[in-house]
Amino acid sequence: MKRPALVVVLVLGALFVLTCGGVAACLGFLTHWQEEAVLSDAASIGMASKEIADLAVPSDLEPVTGMRMEIPFTDRPLVYYAMYEGTDPLRYLMLFAIRKDAISDKSALRDEIERMLRTATGTTPDLAIDREWTDPVDVHGVPVDFRFRHSTNTAHTVEVTDATGMFDGAFGPATVVYVTMGPFDDAGFRAMFK
């Protein structure tokens, strides 16, 4: 093999190794970054919840998971997430916030969350939305428009109500999603935001 061809092969081989090694390192970093962000203990989930919004979470809702994702190579949080679950009736409370300087279009974020909720409801067998409405909810004295949906199965033996609202929290745009099966406790729902 001629010397110039050998140099080209060695350079291309080195670039290939560096590129594959760089891709593997990036994937490893992203996996580690995501794993470090997940919260599983009640105290950490509660702290994430407080960073998102100061809500009076009902005592019968248990923290099940959360997230505090940081900006890479810093200790500054980028995203907070907290999820609570109740069993009787089956209920979920999800709280989510993105750092205020990281989001430019809150309406696009709200539309994406609404789309995800519609997709989730659409994948539930035999459930169809029978009513949708918007109603203001006082969040610490400030009215915020929440979107409500009521869904039932064809036999009307299962009913699900979800409420979604977005408002300015201390950390950034805070999104609250509340889902319950069975009758909707409107007064209990609104009491969380006092």
* 124-167 pLDDT, tens digit each: 667 888 899 999 999 999 999 999 999 888 887 888 899 999 89
**Same domain (yes/no): 26, 56:** no
- What is this structure's pTM? 0.75
Same domain, 67 and 155: yes
Residues 72 and 17 in one domain: no
For the segment 17-32, what is each residue's pLDDT rounded down to a tens digit? 555 555 544 444 445 4
Residue found under tokens 């009787």: 88
| Residues 88 and 49 reside in one and the same domain | yes
Q: Structurally, how many domains does the chain consist of?
A: 2
CA distance 172 to 53: 9
Cα atoms in the 13 Å half-sphere on the side-chain side of 100: 11
The reported pLDDT for the residue numbered 9 is 47
Residue 84 and residue 12 share a domain:
no
Query: Which residues constitute the domain of residue 137?
Result: 40-191
